Structure 1
Amino acid sequence: MKNLSVFSILLLVLFIAAGSEVMMGEACEEQFSFGAEFCDAKTCENMCIKKRGRNAKGRCKLIDTCFCQYPC
Structure 2
Amino acid sequence: MNWQLRTPEEFDTATRFVRPGDMRESVWISSDLGWHAERLAQLAELGFDEIQPHQVGRNQEAFMEAFGRRVLPVLRR
TM-score range, shorter chain: under 0.3
More strand by share: 1
More helix by share: 2
Indicate the structure (1 or 2) with the bigger Cα radius of gyration.
1
TM-score (norm: length of structure 2): 0.22
